[in-house]
Amino acid sequence: MSELWNPGDPGVLRLPSGRLVRGRGVGHPMPEGPLPGFGLYVLDREPSDIAWPRRWVRWPDFGLPGDDADALAGFREALERADRERVEVACLGGRGRTGTALSCMAVLDGVPASGAVAYVRAHYSPHAVETPEQEAYVRAFGPDPV
């Protein structure tokens, strides 16, 4: 357990299973404390300055993933790895795409799709998930590609 996030740290979301995942914006300074063991980056361009293992999902700002199957695989990998290592999910600002990805991960972890955005807003950031299209994506999300 010492390898995982501190649940009280900024940006750390506790999923229903107890898994901890940190959301953040790569456009902001790195938070103090331990570094991630794995990162899921939901950005329009592949990040080049990440020193730990990572997965990139092409995702335009204020938009939706470019490839639903790739996004689903990324959500599943991040969720599975969160059992044993510090996982972060990040976009540029840490709100829209990050909130959408965290909401989809919450669905995979047992939160009903209809309540996942509210769950992430209550437990991660009230500003998570920025567009009506992102909200609709989460409501339609399930373990099969949307």
Task: Give all strands of the β-sheet with 12-14 in edge-to-edge order.
Answer: 12-14, 20-25, 87-91, 38-43, 54-58
Burial class from Cβ neighbours inside 10 Å (0-12, 13-18, 19+) for residue 62 reads exposed
Decide if 86 is inside a domain: yes
- Residue 143: the pLDDT is 59
For residue 126, tell me if it sits in a domain.
Answer: yes
pLDDT of 142: 74
The answer on pLDDT for 1 being more than 50 is no
pTM here?
Answer: 0.94
Would you say residue 5 lies in a domain? no
d(CA 44, CA 91): 9
Element (H, E) at 87: strand 87-91
| Residue 6 domain-assigned (yes or no) | no
21 has which bridge partners?
Answer: 13, 87
- Residue 36 belongs to a domain with what CATH number? 3.90.190.10
pLDDT tens for 6-38 read 999 999 999 999 999 999 999 999 998 899 999
The string of pLDDT tens digits covering residues 99-130 is 999 999 999 999 999 999 999 999 999 999 99
Question: Residue 59's pLDDT is what?
Answer: 97
The separation between the first and the last C-alpha atoms of the chain, rounded to the nearest angstrom, is 33
Q: Among candidates 89, 95, 105, which has minimal Cα distance to 129?
A: 95
Task: Give the model's pLDDT for residue 146.
Answer: 40
31 in a structural domain: yes
Structural domain contains residue 89: yes
2 within domain boundaries: no
In a domain, 79, yes or no: yes
Mean pLDDT score, 134-144:
86
- Three state DSSP letters for 17-86: CCCEEEEEECCCCCCCCCCCCEEEEEECCCCCCCCCCEEEEECCCCCCCCCHHHHHHHHHHHHHHCCCCC
- Structural domain including 27 reads 12-140
Number of domains in the chain: 1
